Amino acid sequence: MKMHSLRYALKQALKNIKRNGLMSLISVSTVTITLSILGILILLVSNLNFFATNLEQKLEISAFLAEGLSQSQQNQIEDQLLAFDNIQEVTFVSKEEALKNLEESMVDKKDLFDTIREDNPLPDSFEVHVNEVEGIPATANYIKDIEGVQEVYYGQDIVEQLLTLTKTLRKAGTVFMGLLLLATMFLISNTIKLTVFARRKEIEIMKLVGATNWFIRWPFMLEGIFIGSFGSLISIFIIFQIYRLILVKIYQSIPFIPFLTNNHLMLTISISIFFFGLTIGTLGSGFSLRKFLDV
């Protein structure tokens, strides 16, 4: 495309947006509203994911050792634990430490510990952190068979329920996000189709005076670029304002729930939404035109 035509297309695109004011406003609003909903959902799903990962990271296996093991036997058990693929890290907790921890978690029942302290019933143990939480039951089985390990505890029921819950949350979030993405694409491209349809006579006239298809297409696609990017920029602003408000509200009532606030994620979401709006605006108008160019 020559410079002259590009300048003309740019000028026409801006003029058309102004002259078809109402249609332009409807298109920008559609892009803004749909992308805002999509963006908020993406943040919600990302947070659910983050929440699930956070919970999973808290899962560990406790391997309680038999009474009276020597230091070398303990080392041997530790080596055997670390040899297993799914085990990431092990921490030795002596019976004294275990008692101290218990005492600290039950400050209000101090008297109870006066008697226990003389004859500590708690065993030495290893706290085992895993790589893959799904592998916890298999890892626990492996640990159970190690000589010198008396008992293994990982809260089977809770772990299994939690894993099912996080899996379901992730799946539902992804499906819902996919559906909303499709709906957004459909809504935006349909609105653009409507604006093009409203101007089909104009396109027909252009064809009849000898305009090539690309000559007609450029101003429309530039309009799509302007509308798509403008709409998505507003939606990015709305998304983060709403997110900030939600965070403030939730922190006030339940401050211990972890939320995603890292800039990297926000930037990724902003860039994705911007390019999604831009692409759908451009391609939407490009494709909608096809039908009317065949004159």
Interface with other proteins (CB under 8 A): 2, 4-5, 8, 16, 19-20, 201-202, 204-213, 215, 295
CB 292 within 8 A of CB 196: yes
CB 282 within 8 A of CB 225: yes
| Minimum distance of other proteins from residue 5's CB (angstroms) | 6
Alpha carbons within 13 angstroms on the beta-carbon side of residue 99 total 17
Which SS3 state, helix, strand or coil, does residue 108 take?
helix
| Minimum distance of other proteins from residue 224's CB (angstroms) | 17
| Minimum distance of other proteins from residue 215's CB (angstroms) | 6
Containing 207, the helix (H) or strand (E) segment is helix 200-208
| Minimum distance of other proteins from residue 294's CB (angstroms) | 9
Q: Residue 60: which region, alpha, beta or left (left: phi > 0; alpha: psi -120 to 50)?
A: beta
Beta carbon nearer to other proteins, 16 or 166 = 16
Containing 113, the helix (H) or strand (E) segment is helix 110-118
- Report the residue count for the chain: 295
CA atoms of 154 and 59, how far apart (whole Å):
8
Beta carbon nearer to other proteins, 148 or 286 = 286
Neighbouring residues of 120: CB distance < 8 A, sequence distance ≥ 6: 95, 96, 99
| Minimum distance of other proteins from residue 24's CB (angstroms) | 12
CB 280 within 8 A of CB 188: yes
Beta carbon nearer to other proteins, 215 or 259 = 215
| Minimum distance of other proteins from residue 199's CB (angstroms) | 8
Beta carbon nearer to other proteins, 213 or 272 = 213
**Residue 93 gets which letter from DSSP?**
E
Beta carbon nearer to other proteins, 106 or 295 = 295
Beta carbon nearer to other proteins, 68 or 210 = 210
CA atoms of 96 and 120, how far apart (whole Å):
8
Beta carbon nearer to other proteins, 214 or 275 = 214
* Among candidate residues 23, 39, 4, the one with its CA nearest the CA of residue 180: 39
| Minimum distance of other proteins from residue 211's CB (angstroms) | 5
User: Hunting for tokens 């749909």 — which residue is that?
Assistant: 34
The tokens describing 142, both together, are: 């492996």
